[in-house]
Amino acid sequence: MLIVQLIFINIAFIISFLLLLPSSPWLFAISSILLIFLAVMRYQYYHRQTHQILQTLLHGLRNLQDGDFSISLADNGANKSQSQSEVLALFNQVTDKLRLEKQSLYQRELLLDKVVNASDVVTVLVNHRDTIIFANRAAEYFFNQKSMLGMSWATLLDEKLPELIPHNDKDNAIIQLLLAGVNYGSNDAEVKDSAKTEQSWHLSRHQLKLHGSRHQLTLLKPITQAMHQQELQTWKKVIRVINHELNNSIAPISSMCHSGNILAERLNEPQLIRVFATISKRINKLAEFIQSYSQLARLSQPKKQPFDLIKTLKQLQELYHFTLSCQQTSLIFPGDESQIEQLLINLLKNAQQACQEKPCAVNVISQQGILTLTVRDYGTGMPVEVLPKAFLPYYSTKADGSGIGLSICREISDGHQGQITLNNHPEGGLQVEVHLPHIVT
């Protein structure tokens, strides 16, 4: 546009030169001055307009440099050339695209943050200076820290989890950690003094580069409950096979024993009668044994319905002597009432057998969405080396025990997405804690 204007000015100068010289030199001089002044004015106007466009683009680029993608350059199009308008329009299109990309990236980061924090996998990211730069909520709960950012990873392990230090050379492995049992709503001292249980975790480490520097991502996934479920399913299959084979053998033996007993009575043989009576007694004991183990194999998925847990406990007080401690007079719990009642009966039976001189104690606490049932007896407790085996089917410390009660308790607890722990009380006796989600809708 400026070039066209300058060409017209030059043409006007040439025409005035041809027409006014040499007849009117003064008129030529005046016209030349006017044409030069007009050319200078047009050049200054174009320069100011170009400078304004450059300043506008400079301010816009600085806003983009500061991360502000909401900038948009105005283009009235009145005094701007086509190329200048195209530059402004292209700038606005780029900022619009960057703004949409930033919003999409922010939404993805927000979604990823929610997913990572909602996961039960302990996630910790450490930079090349061994400083924690990211830790999800599961990690903060696992290490009992309100905030882990900026802490030294080695120092944190040394203070909070020295059991993990021997596994520093492992990148992908299943490890066993001796950790304190979950005690919801307890303070730090109670957590520190609580008995430790062996838990299974899947440890994985990943080396990666962020912003050109080396980082390490450590993941700890709890697999104790999954391994318990797999182990329990294996036991159930074994129990079904054993029950099937034993029942097929017991039925004809029992029939033959009954026939033999009738024949012995007819022959009046006291010795044979005693033999067949002993065989019948042992067959009945074996049938009871099979029946008790069949309970574990037949345990179904819980049918959850709200019921009053305190009312159920007070009904059990008529059968078992125990003291009940609970702040609420009524506590509605969404679960399978028959299964929870069976769990309580098994625990109360064990507590009563451990100490018959003094009634056991049952404590019920509901806080922060967690229901904690504690059954404590005043017996001699359980040896430390026996505690990890207590939930195994067939394993029992009693002479006449079947080793199935605590296994059923653990499956009922797992079926309600809970956790059951077993430890010796510091003041004597055995203490069983059952933690169950308590969210009433």
**Every domain of the chain and the residues it spans:** 2-103, 119-222, 227-298, 305-437
Q: CA-CA distance, 117 to 392, in Å (whole number)?
A: 33
Residue 97 tokens, joined: 């695209």
What residues have CB less than 8 Å from 184, skipping those under 6 apart? Answer: 367, 368, 370, 372, 435
- pLDDT tens-digit readout, 91-137: 888 888 888 888 888 888 888 888 888 888 999 999 989 999 999 99
Picking from 373, 384, 378, the residue whose alpha carbon sits closest to that of residue 423 is 384
Residue 240 tokens, joined: 């079904």
- pLDDT tens-digit readout, 274-322: 888 888 888 887 777 677 666 656 667 788 899 999 999 999 998 888 9
Is pLDDT above 70 for 331? yes
Across residues 388-399, what is the average pLDDT? Answer: 66
Ranges of beta strands (E only) in 223-346 are 305-308, 322-326, 332-335
CA distances 82 to 75, 88, 126, 372, Å, are 11, 10, 53, 75
Picking from 220, 224, 160, 164, the residue whose alpha carbon sits closest to that of residue 388 is 224
Check residue 441 and give its pLDDT: 53
Q: Which position has the higher pLDDT, 258 or 401?
A: 258
Class of domain 119-222 as given by CATH: alpha beta
Check residue 310 and give its pLDDT: 92
Q: CA-CA distance, 193 to 191, in Å (whole number)?
A: 6
- pLDDT tens-digit readout, 8-53: 767 777 777 667 667 777 776 777 788 788 777 877 777 777 777 8
Tokens 């625990």 label which residue?
347
Is pLDDT above 50 for 393? yes
pTM: 0.51
Q: Which position has the higher pLDDT, 233 or 421?
A: 421
Check residue 170 and give its pLDDT: 86
* Angle separating helix axes 224-267 and 405-415, nearest 10 degrees: 140
Average pLDDT, rounded, for the chain: 81
Q: CA-CA distance, 95 to 93, in Å (whole number)?
A: 6
DSSP, res 388: G
Check residue 64 and give its pLDDT: 81
State the sign of the Cα–Cα–Cα–Cα dihedral 331, 433, 382, 430: negative
Strand partners, 201: 175, 222
Check residue 401 and give its pLDDT: 54
Check residue 197 and give its pLDDT: 67
Is the CB of residue 178 less than 8 Å from the CB of residue 198?
A: yes
Give the three-class secondary structure for 163: helix
Is pLDDT above 50 for 260? yes
Q: CA-CA distance, 436 to 369, in Å (whole number)?
A: 9
Q: CA-CA distance, 285 to 279, in Å (whole number)?
A: 10
Across residues 201-209, what is the average pLDDT? Answer: 90
Q: Which position has the higher pLDDT, 393 or 267?
A: 267
**305-437: which CATH topology?**
Heat Shock Protein 90 (3.30.565)
Residue 34 tokens, joined: 């006017």
